[in-house]
Structure 1
């Protein structure tokens, strides 16, 4: 079971009425798993109706896969129950840590890429996939600092995780652009080294820019339209590797649904051109 190679959008409850009226031709909707940990109520009523018409992606934000602490067994059980309830085409989480010593932080924090952290992440993914009874996708992070302790390039780190655990990868194009801009590196060089064989989904999103004495700092804020340089990288990626499920994220300062739908339609146009190019090439 996998997502169709079409654009998708993050579901927001305030858009439910518009979605039911418009019935947009989208490939899938994504929801953050932790928002649906309750047993019932309006959130589940809306999601159940949505699931009847669309493929579904569950996106976790609270497991702290990259942290040194053991995964929370109660959280794993709730995720299993949610996956069993909705049978989504995809479940994904982040290469990041978000808790320590029982304290949860409202952020997805980076980790040093060392053999030790590689072992921790792989052990956690093995535990997660066993608990869910399914293959997961792991997302590359947006980062703002680099660690002196890092010994392994991020792309090689992700490739080794996929090889050891059998998980797939979620390639967030905006995160690539944000991280590479912040670290003054080339996003195309990063993408050339990315283990595309394992990618099951792409993400697109907006970012904010701040000017520091050292230059531009980009923040993965999910509160604006996808920037033109990110669209360009996205088009180059699907032109080279083919159409993939592609989510447009917009989680803050959320606009009316037609604005989001226009972003998905732009992604659809890029995917269609990529498909035509691959047909002609074959």
Structure 2
């Protein structure tokens, strides 16, 4: 099944008095990139969460947001750094002596200094939270994949319609191609007759010139390769669900190469108009392909 690279997923899980909410936002990216925004004490679980997400999303950028609602009453304590307090006291005393200052050093002077007091609270072991986090993460990934598949189905319908349009333009070019040589022969014959009205035309030389022109503007090989690319694109759209975005992008580049060659060789206004329309439609098709996983 075709999948888009954009999407959103959300999952929740409860454990004790804690509620975990994980949100995933996915956007286009050439490779796989997972950006997690976790509290510092959960960094130990970051690699595990990244691998889990990448098992669901092999291509694209995924931003991960975690919200923790904790209803547990925590016992908070205050830690006193006595060595630091003594160091502050000694430093203030030295300054008094060096500068000849008077006055008493009070406890307020000491406790006002940074990091003398620091609050502490007991933290749970992150490993104990993993089962609930895993549950929320799995739910978010399932939700994300579901949205990417739904958007992928819309992309597939759009791409199939555009592919039909490109096929129609290719058919128009194929039908017009034989007319190019005939039109050139008629123009060349008329031009020669206008220049040498009373002299017989060398039919052999004329045939050689027309044959040379026909060889120079032959686009049969390019049209065959275009048909092959069309078939490969349809095979990707009807594939088993493996990521095909890069392959489709490559095929689009190859179609651009073939249609540019056709435009340079055709030397015909009708074919050039079809080529311009083909390239415009192909550019829109490639923009859509950029959204495919």
Report if TM-score (shorter chain) is over 0.5. no
Q: Give TM-score scaled by structure 2 length.
A: 0.18
TM-score, structure 1 length as denominator?
0.18
Structure with more helix by fraction: 2
Relative contact order, CA 8 A, sep 6+: which one is greater? 2
Q: Determine which structure has the larger strand proportion and give its number.
A: 1
